[in-house]
Each structure stands twice: as structure tokens, then as C-alpha cells.
Amino acid sequence: MGEFRQAKWEEPPIFELGAKGRIGCEVPEVEEEVREEVGDIYSLLPPRMIRDKPPNLPEVSEVEVIRHYLRLSQMSYGVDLGPQPLGSCTMKYNPKVAEEVAWDRRVTNLHPLQREEFVQGILKALYELGLWLCEIMGLHKVSFQPAAGAHGELTGALIIRAYHRDKGEERDEMIIPDSAHGTNPASAAMAGFKVVRVPTDEEGQVDIEALKAAVSSRTAGMMLTNPNTLGVFERRILKITAIVHEVGGLMYYDGANINGILGLVRPGDMGFDIVHLNIHKTFSSPHGGGGPGACALCVRRELADYLPIPVVEYDKLRGSYFLNYSIPKSIGRVRAFHGNVVPLLRAYVYLLSLGPQGLVKVAKLSVLNTNYFMAKVKRIKGLEVPYGPQIPRKHEVVISAGKLKRETGVTAEDLAKYLLDRGLHSPTIYFPGIVEEAMMFEFTETETKENIDKYVKALEEAVRLAYRDPSALKSAPSNTAIRRLDLVRANKWDTFAPNYRKYLERVKRRA
């Protein structure tokens, strides 16, 4: 078997394709009677608001558009091509049955403001999905308004703020562990909170003494993910939630890491008050090269009155579903319309397919995959499992290449690039920041044992090469569509080229 070679097309920016006068899509003809009735449309417009110079868009035929983008697709990499074990990203396989539903014309052609009687089907799906997700979380009421996880965090933080204000309290501090996702502190700051950091102890868990010292009457809440970003379950979670509740704070659960405990442990039972779920992670909607995702924000009953509008509800008397816009203490709107509905529908299909038994299987097999990988990778010289290597991991595991770097100069980034050369997508690197040369792996339940073995073998070979000829790793990758990029140049103010015009001035000429 030959080695991996990614397709490489010499594909110029699309602006350099095509020819003057070409078009890729026909615009419907204006009917003659309409033209006659209306007359010259330009005479109806204020002259100074008419465009005088056409935009620089490509002039390409349909076949050229298809070829251009299919060539670009061949120089891209997704779960459909191979493992993509990005930690905390939960890159699981996206079942195709969900795509069939997502592209159904009865979904794609549904306007969000249509009369309720015209949209009962979709409202029912959203309502049922909400019930299921609340059951999985052990909470009571859901909002689908946020468009993504971070948006959910911001919405949750605004709810926390509204809750305290409603009680006449001004609390301005949000407690966040040092291992948290970067979105947590960013969201808390956007909601007007000061971030108070708590450290991680040697077992990879929240340092309880430090937490006790951090809480006060200024504590609005704590944002936590459990299992945390090290893949370790915070076993003193009840104590943590009690400490925060005792001072009157609320517990926020970052649901990015829930995959390994589905149907086994519930955030609501751990004492969390608000949870966001990334529909595009655990609930299998595809990541789309960065988005769209979707989010479910589940809250405890007492917080239901603060949810953003609208909320999907069921009217028992009329026997119909509706969008409720009158929520007494709602924080308001956080986006237009009703949420990222299409990914939510995919989650509906996913849960309908798996049922309770399937969900538990997802959790257990994802944890099995993580620990299997950890057991094997632990034996590789130069790689270490920081923070209690004897503790089983859940959805993900963080490996440190710190020792390797000290002994060979080869970094986590170099290893990542080497993996690309083998046709394997790299893990998340340099996160969490508390781990030196961090490599964060999450295979999820959808990866095969064979691929995990292959991945371990690639890592072994990379490390062996690192001790023998570190410079060989520095020149990776060479089997991808392009070799390592000059990111300093990409970011420097006088070479920064974020559009085609700057590309012509600053990149093409000097390439």
C-alpha cells in the first residue's frame, strides 16, 4: 500500500477563472406584461443610490463553478474522509439519514414567520427534542435560541445576571477553572462579569481549597465542564456545586464535553442550574467547516422565566404547538427568528434513531475508545499523560509532548503536521494551556479500532523519528496539498492579505 497523498490542484483564486460574459446560473426572464406595466425601473430609483461600477465577482459558467469547488473540496478534510480526533470538538460521524431530513423541501421552504397552523410539524419536532434534551440533562426547560455553544454561554451568563438583579443583588464575578474552554471567560466578560480563575489540582480536578477562597457574595456563578477538558470527571462535583450554591451563585455547565456520560450521569443531578449543549458535537450535526452549529440551553425550573424569546410550547387545550413570546422576565432576544433549526432537526433524527439504549452505547464506546487510545499512547517514549494517568478518561484525553520537546526539540505542532502527512487529522494542540505541549484527543464512539491503532502507530513512528532525526519532522507536512505555511507573514501588518486585492499586491507578486 502506498502512502497518503492529498489531492493537489493548481487552483487559482476563482477571480482568475472564466471569461467576460459568462454566467453560472440563469436569472428568470421578466415577463413582457410586467416589463410594460412597470416601465424603466431605473427611473424609479434615486440616481445617487444606483451602483456605477460592478462588483468584482467571477464570470464563470456552471461547469467551471462545480470544478473549482470540487477541486477545493478535494483539498479539504472532514470526518467523511478519516479520523479527526480534535479534543473538545467531538468530531463524530454525521449520519446520512439526518441529511435526508435536513434537505427535505418541507424544511428548506418553510418561512419562520408563517402562521402557526402551517408549521405544526416542525414545532412538534422542536418541542419533543426539547423534552428529550432536558431529560438527558436532568433539567426542566429549554431554549433553542443560541446559534452555537459560545452563544449559549453568553445567553446563560445573561440569565445569571438577570437572576441576581431580579433578586436585587449586584454580583460581578464569574468563577472559571484554568482548564476551561476559552469561550467561557470570553462569554462571561461579554456578559459584564469579572473572571476569577481557579487552579487545577494534581489530579486534574478543581482545587477545592482555592475554590472556597474564591467564592464570596460577589460570586454570580461558576462555569464548569464535567468531565473537564482533561477528560477527567470532577468527582467532587457535588461539593463544588454546594460551595457555589452556598454563597448564592449559580452553576453553569459547558456541555461541550458531555459525550462520554450520556444517559449515565446528568448535570442537573450534579447540581448544575444551566447547561448548554452543542448540537453539532454530541448530537451529530456536522460542523460545516466551522459552522453552523446549534445550541440547546437547558435550565432549572426557577430560571425558565429568564429564557430568551421565543420558546416552543404546547397548548394542551388547543392541541397545538406555538412560539411563546411572552416570558415574564426574559433577557430578550439573542438572535433573529427561532434558532438554527436545521441542525436541531438533525439532532431530532439522531435521538429518535438511537433511543435511550443507543445513547448509553454512544457514551460507553466513546469512553472505551479514549481509554484504549490512552493505554496505548502512554507507552510511547516522550509522551506523557499529565494529571493522574491512572484515572480513567471520559470523552477525551490530553497528552503532553513536553518531554519530547525537551529531549528532541520536536513540538506538539510538529507531531500534528506529521500526522497530516499520514492522512490523519491532528488532535487539538496547545489546549488546555495548563498542559505543556498539549495534544488533546477525542476519537468519539464512531471511530474504528483499526484507525485508532493506525493513529497510535503513526505517533510511535513520529516519536521514533523525533529521536533520530528531528529535522525531518520540522519539514512536515509534505503529503498534503501544501507544505507548512508562513504564518508570521500571514499575520504581519504589512503582508496581511485578507482579500483578493491585497493578495494581488502582497502575495502573488512575491510568490
Partner 1 sequence: MEDSHPWIPNSPKGIVREMLKVIGVDDVEELYSDIPKDLMLNRPLRVGRGRPLSELEVLREVNKLLERNRGTDNVLSFLGAGCWPHYVPSVVKEVIRRGEFYTSYTPYQPEISQGLCQAMFEYQSMIASLTGMDVVNASMYDGSTALAEAVLMAVRVTGRREVLVPSTSNPEYREVLRTLISPKGIKVYEVPYEKERGLMDLEALKGLLSDKVAAVYLENPSYLGFVEEKAEEIVEMAHEVGALAIVGVDPLSLGVFRPPGDYGADIVVGEGQPLGLGLNFGGPLLGIFAVKWDSKLIRQMPGRIFGATTTLRGGEVGYSMVLQTREQHIRRERATSNICTNEALSALAAAVYLALLGPKGLRRLGETILYYSHYATKRLNEVEGVKAPLFKAAHFKEFVVSFEKAGVSVEEVDERLAKRGIQGGKPLKKEFPELGEAALYCVTEVHRKADIDRLVATLKEVLEVGG
Q: Does 411 bind partner 1 (CB under 8 A)?
A: no
Nearest CA-CA partner of 262 in 384, 350, 349, 159: 350
Tell me how many degrees the CA angle 170-134-244 measures, rounded to the nearest 5.
35
Report which DSSP code applies to 503: I
Q: Does 79 bind partner 1 (CB under 8 A)?
A: yes
**Of the candidates 5, 69, 170, 213, which one interacts with partner 1 according to CB under 8 A?**
69
| Closer Cβ to partner 1, 60 or 383, answer by number | 60
Min dist CB 303 to partner 1, Å, is: 16
Residue type, 10: E
Min dist CB 495 to partner 1, Å, is: 7
Residue owning grid cell 449559580: 250
Tell me the C-alpha distance between 40 and 20, whole Å.
26
**Of the candidates 240, 297, 380, 416, which one interacts with partner 1 according to CB under 8 A?**
416
Min dist CB 113 to partner 1, Å, is: 5
| Closer Cβ to partner 1, 56 or 317, answer by number | 56
**Of the candidates 5, 104, 242, 469, which one interacts with partner 1 according to CB under 8 A?**
104
Q: Does 106 bind partner 1 (CB under 8 A)?
A: yes
Tell me the C-alpha distance between 79 and 76, whole Å.
11
**Of the candidates 208, 210, 247, 365, which one interacts with partner 1 according to CB under 8 A?**
365
In total, the chain counts a number of residues equal to 511
Contact between 206 and 236 (Cβ < 8 Å):
yes
Q: Does 432 bind partner 1 (CB under 8 A)?
A: no
Q: Does 190 bind partner 1 (CB under 8 A)?
A: yes
Cell of 282: 454530541
**How many residues touch partner 1 (CB under 8 A)?**
214
Burial class of residue 71 in the structure, from the number of CB atoms within 10 Å of its CB (0-12 exposed, 13-18 middle, 19+ buried): middle
Site string for partner 1, 381-410 (x = CB under 8 A): ----------xx-x----------------
| Closer Cβ to partner 1, 245 or 489, answer by number | 489
**Of the candidates 166, 169, 217, 356, which one interacts with partner 1 according to CB under 8 A?**
356
Residue type, 73: S
Contact between 102 and 348 (Cβ < 8 Å):
no
Min dist CB 408 to partner 1, Å, is: 20
Q: Does 213 bind partner 1 (CB under 8 A)?
A: no
Q: Does 171 bind partner 1 (CB under 8 A)?
A: no
Scored b (16 or more CB within 10 A) or e, 388-406 reads: eeebebbbbbbbbbbebbe
Min dist CB 199 to partner 1, Å, is: 15
**Of the candidates 218, 245, 329, 364, which one interacts with partner 1 according to CB under 8 A?**
364
Q: Does 361 bind partner 1 (CB under 8 A)?
A: yes
**Of the candidates 142, 175, 274, 294, which one interacts with partner 1 according to CB under 8 A?**
294
**Of the candidates 143, 179, 183, 411, which one interacts with partner 1 according to CB under 8 A?**
183
Q: Does 76 bind partner 1 (CB under 8 A)?
A: yes
Alpha-carbon separation of residue 247 from 157, 251, 429 (angstroms) = 17, 11, 36
Alpha-carbon separation of residue 47 from 38, 39, 52, 441 (angstroms) = 17, 16, 10, 59
Q: Does 270 bind partner 1 (CB under 8 A)?
A: yes
Stretch in the footprint of partner 1 (CB under 8 A) among 55-63, 212-220, 243-251, 398-406: 55-63
Footprint of partner 1 on 18-37 (CB under 8 A) = 18, 21-25, 27-28, 30-31, 33-35, 37
Q: Within a 13 Å sphere around the CA of 45, how many CA atoms are in the beta-carbon half? A: 8
Tell me how many degrees the CA angle 223-226-231 measures, rounded to the nearest 5.
125
Q: Does 367 bind partner 1 (CB under 8 A)?
A: yes
Contact between 417 and 453 (Cβ < 8 Å):
no
Nearest CA-CA partner of 224 in 209, 207, 203: 207
For residue 252, give the H/E element and its range.
strand 250-254
Q: Does 242 bind partner 1 (CB under 8 A)?
A: no
| Closer Cβ to partner 1, 355 or 406, answer by number | 355
Footprint of partner 1 on 296-355 (CB under 8 A) = 308, 331-343, 348-349, 351-355
Count the neighbouring beta carbons within 10 Å of the beta carbon of residue 155: 27
Tell me the C-alpha distance between 155 and 296, whole Å.
11
- SS3 for 334-351, per residue? CCCCCCCHHHHHHHHHHH
Cell of 197: 480563575
Footprint of partner 1 on 129-168 (CB under 8 A) = 132, 135-136, 147-151, 153-154, 158, 161
| Closer Cβ to partner 1, 248 or 372, answer by number | 372
Min dist CB 248 to partner 1, Å, is: 19
